[in-house]
Structure 1
Amino acid sequence: MFVNKLAPIARRYATDSNVSRMSFEKTLTNEEITKQLTGMFNILSHMKSNKKYKTQDLISDVGFYCYKSKSSIEGAGFGVFSRCDTFIPKGSVVSIYSGTVYANYEPTFLPSIGNKFILQRKDGFLIDGNDRYMSKIIYKSCKTRERYYDTRESKHVELCDDSWLQFRHQTSHQDFCNNSVLNPYAIGHYINSSHENHKNQTQEANVMYFEYEFDRDEWPDDLLQFIPNVHYSTQTMYLRANKCGLIKSIVLVALRDILNGEELFACYKNLVYT
């Protein structure tokens, strides 16, 4: 019997063992998350149509944004940091975990090789947030499949965003300000784990994972372009009759007030290898 030992998939469960998270999670609702995301996306839509609008202006409209830079933990590579006037309030959606969404029976072996960005939801769906190699090719291919041509407006309509793939080239706040990422909040895949062992340096989690689904029937068509997730197969979206489909996703929510310049850390309850 052949046993694959070449590329064990580190499937990071989107759950948190912190007790405060469990009590805080009860106060969160899909309606509240949708309200926050809709507000963000409306501002991003305005930013896209107004060329004079700069990324830094998000602080005055949204209240904050996040950027990728060298992690404060030695040996951890890059991390995600907050940018705001004072603090990001507890309960705020700070980012979205970008990537291709797979059902647990769909092929993930090849894109999983050497891939540390695969996050697993409780329902078994996987989100591949890797912005390189085969993962990048698969995401861009699926995105092209999802677009359609609006004959009345004579233009293509995008149903998801792939500009988050540019985060790979950002290494500082200055790079972030000079880059034109459509949705700067789609950076959750770069948030480090608070329990990763980097020379015994650990940080308490200040954000948590929240499983969320973008309902295409409920979201305005002009805001779908900011969703940084796409399903590998359309069959996993059309689970309800006469519906346009649910886009499985994960958002990261502040567990407490986060000060300006703080690095964001999440916590994984289990690390499962298959």
Structure 2
Amino acid sequence: MSRNILRRFVSKWKSYRYRFVPWIALNLKDRSIRAVPTGSSDKIITDQTVEETLLKLFAALNKIPQNGTGLNSATSLDVMMKVMGFKVERATSQVGGTGVYVTDGMVPKGTVLAMYPGAIYFPYEPILLQSISNPFIFRCIDGILIDGNDKRLSKVVYRSCSKRDRLGPYMTCDVSWLTSHLDNPIALGQYVNNHSKKFGANVAYQEYNVTEDFPLHLMKYIPNVRYSPPSIHEGSESRVIRTVVLVSTRDIKAGEEVFSTYFTMVY
């Protein structure tokens, strides 16, 4: 019994350690990192390219008749293949646990292939309880956190915030990523594993702000929501939503697993 408990602990630690700051600091010398100069926008592709990709995919998804429970995974993947020329799906990783693979087509270099879903927390907002044993906390360069956990308290918080921000008949975020049936087929970036010496990184994270100009009827495919409601003092910034997309750093063929670089240093 004790051995099983120890195995479970070791398994969780191997995943969680990449989010544990003291461990990262002690092990940076042994890790490959992605360096970003101070003040850099850290953009691999332009915001316009990211927006055009999302609008094209979301508009195509929005044309598919829905039965009241959203799209099924097969349908959304078919749309993805038609619009983007490839499919990405979750499967058992080569390094253990869950990973993300290109299952059909080919991803050209400099292409958005996934989004990092989750609730958005500003540095001053409480996230302690949600972060316990949670390996899916993503930290943006400016300190904003995205909780990509689709289970337990994180799931409850996200669902609650999604209902709060609904505007009449319009959903302002995607909730299907909390299930196994994705309306937005690229909302699975939290399951991309860290690269290693054996498996090199083929994608990198890029921050992108969804602005107030983004079509309201397509917001239902954005897999992010703010933890706190927008303030009336924010004006035009009230509909700005922080998202993180994963962009390919080389061509990725069908059958390849997607790996990222968890370590990004800002100098």
After TM superposition, the score normalised by the length of structure 2 is 0.78
Separation in structure 1 between the aligned mates of residue 198 and residue 86 of structure 2, nearest angstrom: 25
What is the aligned counterpart of 1:31 among 34, 37, 48?
Answer: 48
More moved, 49-58 vs 256-265: 49-58
Report SS of the residue matched to 2:177. Answer: helix
What code does the residue aligned with 2:223 have? P
CA contact (8 A) 1:119 1:128 kept: yes
Separation in structure 2 between the aligned mates of residue 119 and residue 202 of structure 1, nearest angstrom: 24
Distance apart, 1:221 and its partner CA: 1.3
Q: Unpaired segments of 5 or more residues in structure 2?
A: 1-15, 25-31, 37-41
Structure whose residues are more often helix by fraction: 2
Distance apart, 1:19 and its partner CA: 7.1
Aligned to 1:10: 20
Counterparts of 1:80-229 in structure 2, within 5 Å, are 80-85=100-105, 87-149=106-168, 156-167=169-180, 180-195=181-196, 202-215=198-211, 217-229=212-224
Distance apart, 1:254 and its partner CA: 0.6
Separation in structure 2 between the aligned mates of residue 161 and residue 55 of structure 1, nearest angstrom: 13
Report SS of the residue matched to 1:248. Answer: strand
C-alpha distance 263-239 of structure 1, shift in aligned 2 (>3 A): farther
Which protein, 1 or 2, shows the higher relative CO under an 8 Å CA cutoff with sep ≥ 6? 1
2:243 corresponds to 1:249: yes
What is the aligned counterpart of 1:77 among 84, 89, 97?
Answer: 97
Deviations along 1:28-70, whole A, 9 cap, x unmatched?
2111111111111111112355989824423123211211110
CA contact (8 A) 2:76 2:184 kept: no
Q: Unpaired segments of 5 or more residues in structure 1?
A: 1-6, 150-155, 168-179, 196-200
CA contact (8 A) 2:119 2:146 kept: yes
After TM superposition, the score normalised by the length of structure 1 is 0.76
What code does the residue aligned with 1:94 have? L
Separation in structure 2 between the aligned mates of residue 243 and residue 18 of structure 1, nearest angstrom: 30
2:51 corresponds to 1:57: no
C-alpha distance 19-89 of structure 1, shift in aligned 2 (>3 A): farther
Report SS of the residue matched to 2:213. Answer: coil
CA contact (8 A) 1:43 1:62 kept: no
Separation in structure 2 between the aligned mates of residue 105 and residue 133 of structure 1, nearest angstrom: 22
Report SS of the residue matched to 1:263. Answer: coil
Separation in structure 2 between the aligned mates of residue 242 and residue 56 of structure 1, nearest angstrom: 34
CA contact (8 A) 2:56 2:83 kept: no
Figure out how many residues of one structure are paired with residues of the other and give that number.
Answer: 231
C-alpha distance 36-238 of structure 1, shift in aligned 2 (>3 A): farther
Separation in structure 2 between the aligned mates of residue 255 and residue 165 of structure 1, nearest angstrom: 27
CA contact (8 A) 2:115 2:244 kept: yes
Report SS of the residue matched to 1:157. Answer: coil
CA contact (8 A) 1:100 1:232 kept: yes
Distance apart, 1:205 and its partner CA: 0.3
Report SS of the residue matched to 1:184. Answer: coil
